[in-house]
Amino acid sequence: MLANKYGKETLLRLRENETFERRTVSFYRYVRLENVNTLRNDLYQVWTELGILGRTYLATEGINAQMTVPVPNWDAFVADLDSRVVFAKMPLKIALEEKGSAFLKLIVRVKPRILADGLDDNEIDMNRMGEHLTPVQFNEALAHPDAVVVDVRNHYEHEIGHFDNAIRPDVDTFQESLPIIRDTLADHKDKPVLMYCTGGIRCEKASAYLRANGFQDVSQLNGGIIAYAQHVKEAKIESKYRGKNFVFDDRKNEKITDDILSTCHLCDNPCDEHQNCQNHACHLLFLQCQTCAKRLNNCCSAECKRIAGLPLEEQRTLRREARQRAGDSHYVSQLNRKKRKANPGAEETKENSTTIELKTKEINSGTTELVSETNS
């Protein structure tokens, strides 16, 4: 199989020595794909030649991609997509902020689904999605007195930014969120439901799911927060989305407005920067202010700081012993757990340490929630 063969250091050096600009782009499409493995190898080859880095999932249900494209090769990249019937006229979402290129290598992977949803085949009809609203239409719809706004993202995403008054399920994965959203909105089946997510893909499924469950008036923000932010910036209008937009690459987030909606998980001071605990056996994703980061060497607790300070060999031995004691699912998100206990108003969700561990690992390695959602 065609695949990348360099180590992380080499890749980092290669990227740093680049003399051209890159453009960060994401796109997806639900479309029936034939011969997915052949298509995968073909895309991998073409995109390698174009110097593209990033992460793409292919399934018989479609394509879901996040990547950075060298600007000099941009037109060739678009022309290649357009030359393929299934990918022609693809809506491409270009990132708002450029904090340096986000990916180190190219991954094109064949998956059972491009977005793990936990649903049975035929449980939803992908021809019956919600109505797609432009950012302008979405703003108008938000003003409707009966509008019910739903954030179709995970807890760690919407805690740093969201639309005002949005219902925000306290979940760690997309598949966990679907039944919770359905049940939370049970009394609103006749009201206009407005949903949004990062780039729109989750709403495609969530809106089809709500319609399959008897909701009459379901709409979704076309292109997600990414498209909305772009529009607000270009049209110079006030954003009804506040705070940051969590993204699944090295940039970690895009600033949409200056509002800071969240607090440090350790000291409760205003903070909207995520951190991965530097104890590699923990890797917890959490919000940590500069003061706490300094005090704990970017770790989530004094115990993790102690472990992260040990010689590497000793850390490895500890991890091996811990694995032997508790199987593979022993790393528990203690902070999230603590926070939920301290916040009884939040939705009770099934604690799943494996999910959280996977999620934080994926984010740290620059891949996306889709990987962890597939695994959870």
CB-facing half-sphere around the CA of 204: CA atoms within 13 A: 19
Neighbouring CB atoms inside 10 A of 73's CB total 18
- In this complex, which beta carbon is closest to Zn ion, that of residue 173 or of residue 360? 360
- In this complex, which beta carbon is closest to Zn ion, that of residue 101 or of residue 360? 360
Query: What are all long-range contacts of 9-14, with beta carbons under 8 Å and residues at least 24 apart?
Result: 11/104, 11/105, 12/104
Query: What are the angstrom distances between the C-alpha of 119 and each of 114, 210, 372?
Result: 13, 13, 16
* Residue 180 near residue 115 (C-beta atoms within 8 A): no
Asked if 167 is part of the footprint of Zn ion (rule: CB under 5 A), the reply reads no
Rounded to a whole number of angstroms, the minimum distance from the CB of residue 154 to Zn ion is 19
Asked if 126 is part of the footprint of Zn ion (rule: CB under 5 A), the reply reads no
- In this complex, which beta carbon is closest to Zn ion, that of residue 226 or of residue 271? 271
Whether residue 197 lies in the annotated active site: yes
Contact pattern for Zn ion over residues 243 through 272, marking x by CB under 5 A: ---------------------x-xx-----
Rounded to a whole number of angstroms, the minimum distance from the CB of residue 360 to Zn ion is 9
Rounded to a whole number of angstroms, the minimum distance from the CB of residue 277 to Zn ion is 3
Strand partners, 63: 29, 58
Contact pattern for Zn ion over residues 271 through 300, marking x by CB under 5 A: ------x-x--x-x----x--x-------x
Rounded to a whole number of angstroms, the minimum distance from the CB of residue 334 to Zn ion is 8
* Residue 180 near residue 171 (C-beta atoms within 8 A): yes
Rounded to a whole number of angstroms, the minimum distance from the CB of residue 373 to Zn ion is 22
Count the residues in the chain: 376
* Nearest CA among 176, 362, 152, 373 for reference residue 274: 362
Transcribe 296-311 into DSSP letters: TTT-SSHHHHHHHTS-
- In this complex, which beta carbon is closest to Zn ion, that of residue 39 or of residue 282? 282
Asked if 304 is part of the footprint of Zn ion (rule: CB under 5 A), the reply reads yes
Among all residues, which ones are annotated catalytic?
A: 197
Question: Which residue ranges make up the site for Zn ion (CB under 5 A)?
Answer: 264, 266-267, 277, 279, 282, 284, 289, 292, 300, 304
